Every structure is written in structure tokens, then in C-alpha cells.
Amino acid sequence: MVKPGLGPFEKDRVYHGDALRLMPLIPPCSIDLVVTDPPFAIDFRAQRLNYNRVGGNVLEGYADISPDDYENFTCCWLKEAYRVLSGSGSLYVFSGWNRLKDVLFGLDSAGFHTINHIIWKYQFGVFTRKKYVTSHYHILFAVKNPRNYTFNKVEHYPEDVWVINREYWKGKKKTPTKLPGELVKKILSYSSNPGDMVLDPFLGSGTVAVVSREMERHFLGFELVEDYYRFASERIAPGQETTNNGKK
């Protein structure tokens, strides 16, 4: 079966705009894999000293969602993700623990079947005085059809707890919530094949697009914050920056 085109969008491009306005323009069943790290609704402060960052290197403008609006926001974009995915399509969505219930509800409401609840353990968390330090994210792996989806068994015994360090970009500009390239490569290795179309509706720094290009997947990405969009566009420009495993 030949997949439809991308409507007003071109493959291997990123676009500046609101995912809730742009996703409805994508034709149904045109995407093979969605990988995204949406806003978490946690009053995120990107330049706090707990992260050991030089403030001038962290791009401003992180666009969060009000906690009161988060359930509706999540249900809306997940409904669109379900619509645009092919019949054998898959989705990986990142979530903090505090809004996890909204993501799980949104997945069920949209019609997804959740295959795995993955824990990503990273190397540090923000210091706390009266509670445990949070040093992990949740990654929900969900599909449209539990009997027909891509899963390349890259490892003989793939576990659902991934210990992958965040990347340090010393002296470089960065967005406050950049995903490590190694993490995105793992997802793409298991749940996509060369030539597949990968969508990230909340693009951030552009790592999903960068890794897709490196792994010979096509990509489409949306980003609301103009500075982040420009930063991601620079990273995916021909001959420009690769992930930390690359040469640039």
C-alpha cells in the first residue's frame, strides 16, 4: 500500500508553528513513527543553577502548558497522532511522573494500545530536601494495531529500563530539555526502518530530526518557539551539526 504524501508539508523539513494547528493538516496514515517530548506542565525553569548550566548558553522561551489545560492538550495532540499514523505505526511519548496519568488517559482515549512503559534513567536530578530526587523519565511505547507494528529486536534481551546519560554540550548553545542522540537512536533502531517517515510535533532542539537524517529515515517536525525552531533548523541543515556520536 502506497502511503499518501504529507499534504502542505515537505519531507525532511521542520516548520515553525503550533502542533495543534499543524498536525490536522497532515494527511491520515502518512506517518510511520511519532517520537516526541511534549511540554510537561511542571513550571520548568530552564536556567536554574541546579542543572549546572551557564545561563547564556540556554535558549529562552520554553513554552509550557497550564496544568488545568494539560489533559485536554494531551488528548488533542494524541488524537491527531493516532490519525496520522499508518496502520502499522508506533508512537513513543516522553512524560514526567506528575502528568503521567494525563498521557495514559490520552493514549487510551485516542485508541492506542500501550505496549511498554519504559523508564529512562539518567545521571542526575534536581537537588531536593524533603522528597526523593527525580532522575528518570517515563517513555510510553504505543501502537495502533497490536498485531502489526515494527519491532526490530536489536538486542537479544531488550529490557524496559534504559540507563542513558544526558549529553553535556559544554560551551554550546542548547535548549533546556534536549534529548540525547543515543536515546533517540535506540528508539529508531527498534521501531523504524530506513525510508520510514518520523514525526516530532514538539521538536525542541531537533534531535529526532537529526538522528532520523543520520539513520536514513525521513522526518517532519514542528516547533512553536521561534528560537528553538531556528536552532533545530541550523542543526539539520546539510553539512551541519550531527549528534554527539557524529563528527561535527
From first to last of its 248 residues, the chain has per-residue pLDDT tens of: 567 789 999 999 999 999 999 999 999 999 999 999 998 755 544 444 434 444 444 344 445 688 889 999 999 999 999 999 999 999 999 999 989 999 999 999 999 999 999 999 998 777 889 999 888 999 999 999 999 999 999 999 999 999 999 876 554 554 556 899 999 999 999 999 999 999 999 999 999 999 999 999 999 999 999 999 999 999 998 765 555 444 34
Q: What is the pLDDT of residue 47?
A: 42
pTM, full prediction: 0.86
Which of 25, 36, 30, 41 shows the shortest CA–CA distance to 223?
Answer: 36
In a domain, 70, yes or no: yes
In a domain, 123, yes or no: yes
Task: State the total domains in the chain.
Answer: 1
In a domain, 146, yes or no: yes
In a domain, 248, yes or no: no
Residue with cell 531537533: 206
In a domain, 79, yes or no: yes
- Which residues are CB-neighbours of 3 under 8 A, at least 6 positions away? 29, 30, 32, 86, 197
In a domain, 191, yes or no: yes
Q: What is the pLDDT of residue 185?
A: 98
In a domain, 244, yes or no: no
* Structural domain boundaries, residue 61: 13-236
In a domain, 8, yes or no: no
Q: What is the pLDDT of residue 245?
A: 45
CATH of the domain at 152: 3.40.50.150
**Cell, residue 38:** 511534549
CB 212 within 8 A of CB 219: yes
